[in-house]
Amino acid sequence: MAKVPVQFTLNGSEKAEFVESGATLLDVLRDKIGDTSPKAGCRQGTCGSCSVIVDGELRLSCLTLAETCEGASIVTTAGLAEGGVLHPLQRAFMDAFATQCGFCTPGMIMAAKALLDRNPDPSRDEVVEAIAGNICRCTGYEPIIEAVLSAARSNSISAA
């Protein structure tokens, strides 16, 4: 298969790769670049564990062709903590016991971040809706909802 050059920004760093035509963003992130925070739970868009944010939009990286990300700005869970300080969502997930086996956690945090980026003060129903595409097989859903709501509250406090 032909290789395709692609350049994008990952968590603020410039990346340039030759990728196989048809390679998914998930595989390029994990195997070529080595950011293994997005997880491959199903590779068919049904579990949400590979969720990343591309140009501000929540995307399933397993269904996103890497070559379509030319020039894009991509954010993954690995890029959320700044200078060793956890992002409020990460802190909230820890405090709320919102991670168990942890495999869904990076995708869940991305889905939550995409929600809070566009809606800083979501209702409980809006949180449920926003992460309804992410499966947690340990089924620790209630703490996850609590974590997202709590992160939203802490954001609004720090913004005030």
Partner 1 sequence: MAEGTAPISPEGAAIGRPIARDDGVAKVTGRARYAADCRPPGLLHAVIAPSRIARGRVTAFDLDAAMAEPGVVAVMTPANRPPLAEDPDAKTAPIVFRLDLLQDDRIRYAGQPVAVVIGETLEAAEEGAFRLAPAYAAEPALVDIDAAEPFVPETVGLGAPVERRRGDVEAALATAAHRVQRRYETAAQVHNPLEPHAVVAVWEGDRLWVDTPSQNVARAQRRIAGLLGLPPDHVHIRSPFVGGGFGAKAFPAGPQVLGILAARLVGRPVKLVLSRAQMFGAVGHRAPTRQTLRLGLADDGTIAALAHHARVASSRFDDFFEPAAALSGGVYAAGAVETTHEAVRLDIATPVVMRGPGEATGSLALECAIDEAAAELGLDPLAFRRLNHADTEPISGRPFSSKALRACYDAGAARFGWAGRPLAPRSLSDSDGRLVGLGIGTAVFPSMMFQAEARALLRADGAAIVELGAHEIGQGAATALRQIAADALGLPLSAVTLRTGASDLPDAGGAAGSSHTATAGSAIHAAGTALVARLAALATADPASPLHGAGNAVLFAADGALHAGDGRRDPHAAVLARAGLGAIEARGAAAPDRAARASHAMAAHGAVFAEVAVDPDLGAIRVTRLVGAFAAGRIVNPRLARSQLVGGMIWGLSLALHEAAQFDPATGAIANADLGAYRIPVHADLPFVEALLVAEEDTLVNPLGVKGVGEIGITGTAGAVANAVWHATGVRIRRFPIRIEDLALAMPGREKEDDA
Question: In whole angstroms, how close is the CB of 109 to partner 1 at the nearest point?
Answer: 7
Question: In whole angstroms, how close is the CB of 144 to partner 1 at the nearest point?
Answer: 7
Question: In whole angstroms, how close is the CB of 14 to partner 1 at the nearest point?
Answer: 20
C-beta of 15 vs 160, nearer to partner 1: 15
- Using CB atoms within 10 A of its CB, is residue 34 exposed (0-12), middle (13-18) or buried (19+)? exposed
| Interface contacts to partner 1, rule CB under 8 A | 1, 20, 22-23, 27, 30-31, 34-44, 46-47, 49, 76-78, 80-81, 86, 89-91, 93-95, 97, 99-106, 109, 128-129, 131-145
C-beta of 55 vs 97, nearer to partner 1: 97
C-beta of 139 vs 160, nearer to partner 1: 139
- The count of other CB atoms within 10 Å of the CB of residue 122 is 18
Largest CA distance in the chain: 53
Query: Cα separation of 99 and 109, whole Å?
Result: 10
Contact 138, 108 (CB under 8 A): no
Question: In whole angstroms, how close is the CB of 16 to partner 1 at the nearest point?
Answer: 18
Q: Where are the beta strands (DSSP E) in 11-108?
A: 13-20, 51-54, 57-60, 73-75
